[in-house]
Amino acid sequence: MNILIVGSESRYIHLKNFSDELEKHRINSKVIIDTEFIEKSLSLDIKNRREKKRRREELLDFNPDLVVLDRISRLGEFFLNKKIPLFVLLRGNYWEELQWVKTTNEISKVESLSIYKNQKLAKKIFSESKGIIAISNYLKNEALKRYPGKKIDVIYADGRRISDWKKEETKQKFDHPCVGLVQGFDIWGKTRELQTLEKVLEKMPDVKFYLAGDGHNKNKIIPKLEKYENFIWLGKLEYPKKIKEMFSSIDIFLLLSGLEGLGQTVIEAMLMKKPIIATKIGGIPEIIKDLETGFLVDLGDSDKIIFQIRELLSNPELIAKITKNATKDIQRFSWENIAIEFLSVIKREIK
């Protein structure tokens, strides 16, 4: 069987690990970055358009039995038109994220047209794909609201190669005790929950908070947080090396998000054996078993966050217990296990 996996440059490292595991099961697998085969939708560069078209046609020489699409892309439409079975990996709440972009970002007429085209494309891909593979039950339910008759399977396909995520010998020079956060600021629906951190910073001056991340909405958040002496913004860190160094350096990992398909930073922090506190939103409760492998808090509950940080910092035995449980449980997010589940679904659907 030949499987072609299509994704973004930022996801390539993970998709390649996935592909490597598929190869172990006698699958001929190949990962490509979609932007290398499609031009910008409003591009007037005729020469570039012809070159990208030629490269797309060359992909057919791989003779894919099916294509896995890691994000909405016009390359998906190309394969649909060629009558090649297409499976969509639903990694985030596409519809809610899009709504946040439309309502909170300043959008030009050109961007508005691009969003409209993307919505049409997404509808075609979701409707005509052979199947949707959601990476959480939360996302499956969100997809079923829009496509009630669609076949949707759940595989926690936001995996990691377990051996890659271990404590780094090189660490950041952080003050202790400290709490680390890693988040993007592009979708306000995710970012806005960081406003809860203000009350935490105010009531915990003896604890340092280090935040890594960047994005469109940083100016709505960072200036407010930087008013506190116990807050340090690290900007965007090199992935994965500097992120691993950060995880190795912190005492506790905190995720304050208002929208999560699953929560890849939670998975990574667990692998790095860090105790985790995270908002009870989206797919996060499917990773964290509250009070067993981590701690869940309601949106805006700064008092619970403060209590949980204090309890962890004063109780090394609790940290040891939680991280030990998490280390065992997180094995289900290995690409090795995900590849087996994926092939089971694919063989059933293709048959």
Output the six-digit token pair for 104: 């909170």
- Conformation bin of residue 246: beta by default, left when phi > 0, alpha when psi is -120 to 50: alpha
- Report pLDDT for 36: 94
Q: Name the pTM for this structure.
A: 0.93
Cβ atoms within 10 Å, residue 164: 12
Judge contact between 210 and 180, C-beta under 8 A.
Answer: yes
138 plus 175 within the same structural domain: no
Q: How far apart are the first and last CA of the chain?
A: 12
CATH number reported for the structural domain that contains residue 338 in this entry? 3.40.50.2000
Q: What is the pLDDT of residues 171-219, one digit of tens each?
A: 889 999 999 999 999 999 999 999 999 999 999 999 999 999 999 899 9
Question: CA-CA distance, 351 to 348, in Å (whole number)?
Answer: 5
74 plus 149 within the same structural domain: yes
Q: What is the pLDDT of residues 66-121, one digit of tens each?
A: 999 999 999 999 999 999 999 999 999 999 999 998 888 777 777 787 888 889 99
Spatial CB neighbours of 248, under 8 Å, sequence gap ≥ 6: 167, 168, 170, 171, 172, 272
- Residue 167's pLDDT band (boundaries 50, 70, 90)? confident
101 plus 199 within the same structural domain: no
- Report pLDDT for 42: 60
How many CA within 13 A on the CB side of residue 246? 27
Judge contact between 209 and 231, C-beta under 8 A.
Answer: yes
205 plus 320 within the same structural domain: yes
Phi, psi of 270 (to 5 degrees): -65, -45
Question: How many domains does the chain fold into?
Answer: 2
Q: What is the average per-residue pLDDT within 274-299?
A: 97
Q: What is the pLDDT of residues 233-279, one digit of tens each?
A: 999 999 999 999 999 999 999 999 999 999 999 999 999 999 999 99
Least Cα distance to 221 among 175, 258, 252 occurs for 258
30 plus 151 within the same structural domain: yes
Q: What is the pLDDT of residues 117-161, one digit of tens each?
A: 889 999 999 999 999 999 999 999 999 999 998 989 999 999 999
Q: Which domain holds residue 185?
A: 162-332
Question: CA-CA distance, 262 to 214, in Å (whole number)?
Answer: 20
Output the six-digit token pair for 308: 């949980």
339 plus 221 within the same structural domain: no
